[in-house]
Amino acid sequence: MRREEAEKVLLLFPIKLQFFAEGDGADKTEEATPKKLSDARKEGQVAKSQELSTAVMLLALFVILKAAVGYIGTRFLRYYLDTYQAIDVYSVEDFTPSIASAFLRNGLVEVLLICLPVFAVAVAAAFAVSIAQVKWEVTAKPLKPKFDKFNPLKGFKRIFSKDKVVELVKAVIKIALIFYLAYSDLEEAAGAVVSLYDFGLEQAVVYIGNFVINLGIKISTVYLVVGLADYIYQKFKFKKDLRMSKQEVKDEYKKQEGDPQVKGRIKSKMREVSQRRMMQKLPEADVVITNPTHFACAIKYDKEVAEAPVLIAKGADYVAQKIKDAAKEYDIPIVENKPLARMLYYNVDLDSEIPQELYQMTAEVLAYVYRLKHGGAA
């Protein structure tokens, strides 16, 4: 009975589980192409771990504090003594609000001058790590408002996405590690903390300062390990998110290189134009050399124009037959020489002079043709 009721509910309120699936459902098995990676970079999509940058900044901050704690403490103590002595000069009646305000301003400036170098180095370390992760790329596109983020359906989907689960796990791990380290150190230092009542003010401040700095270094080191793991995950996720389907790769190739079918038609047209020009020059040939069925090459020799004979037409199979038919039509001698025809076809470009290696064989053919012409004239 319960099963039938459940089926009725599903029929009345169908649930599309695909709604909660990530991606468009396509089989994206191919690695992202350089163009897609470049486009994603221009859009501000990069593999970056904010956890790693924060961890480096905190670690740099506490390490610098530990190294310069003596200098910083001396500066603060000196400022405190100078301020105390300066205030002691004024009587209660003379210490007006304007003087108090001046002391407060000077105090803030002094604190900034003391702390600013420390924070500047920490921020510079975080900036350097960020640059090392994503390289230098200035783009304002991530700052542009995206109205699809206001879509409640997509927002609901993002809330229950895998990325949010990962972020939640990271947050829980960070809080657990920080709590464990803080609790462990406080438990170890419990006896010393109780005995702080017997310390002088300066000793107590030094002890508490060292305790906080050492604890900060421990937490920052563990946080750095978490940041490195997060960076590895972000790299993996970035590559996975940018994967492409085979069809997307083909479409991108078509956009970059052109449609192969269109390119094939263009090449075919270019060949037709080239052959047409070649056939137009054929009447100028002195001889056509064949092999005799597969290749045909037309040679022209004009001493006043070129130092060597020039190949003005060549072709194989169907084109070779067209050259031979045109040679018969224009009464151009056709000479069979299989080695020479093959070498001319494969080694000499159109409208190029015959290379020296073929001078002897070509000269023999031309001499034979000239003898035929001379004999015919006689």
Chosen domain end from 184, 218, 240: 240
Chosen domain end from 219, 240, 261: 240
pLDDT tens digits for 240-259? 888 888 888 777 777 766 66
254 close to 290: Cβ distance less than 8 angstroms: no
Q: Do residues 223 and 307 share a domain? A: no
pLDDT (0 to 100) of residue 318: 86
Q: Which of 270, 320, 313, 267 is nearest to 291 (CA)?
A: 320
How many domains does the chain contain in total? 2
pLDDT tens digits for 310-339? 998 998 888 899 989 889 988 889 999 989
pLDDT mean across residues, the chain: 78
Query: Residue 366 is part of a domain; what is its CATH number?
Result: 3.40.1690.10
pLDDT tens digits for 200-229? 766 777 777 788 888 888 888 888 888 888
Residue 126's φ and ψ, nearest 5 degrees, are -65, -40
Show Cβ contacts of residue 90 under 8 Å, excluding neighbours closer than 6 positions: 99
Q: Do residues 183 and 290 share a domain? A: no
Residue 255's φ and ψ, nearest 5 degrees, are -65, -40
pLDDT tens digits for 31-61? 877 777 777 777 777 778 888 888 899 898 8
Q: Do residues 220 and 317 share a domain? A: no
Instruction: Confirm whether 34 is domain-assigned.
Output: no
Higher pLDDT, 103 or 235: 235
Which DSSP symbol is given to 245?
A: -
341 close to 296: Cβ distance less than 8 angstroms: yes
Q: Do residues 207 and 89 share a domain? A: yes
Instruction: Confirm whether 8 is domain-assigned.
Output: no
Residue 75: both structure tokens together: 């500066």
Residue 339's φ and ψ, nearest 5 degrees, are -60, -45
Q: Give me the DSSP letters along 182-224.
A: HHHHHHHTHHHHHGGGGS-HHHHHHHHHHHHHHHHHHHHHHHH
pLDDT (0 to 100) of residue 75: 80
Query: Dihedral sign, CA of 339, 345, 346, 351?
Result: positive
Q: Do residues 215 and 322 share a domain? A: no
Boundaries of domain holding 345: 283-377
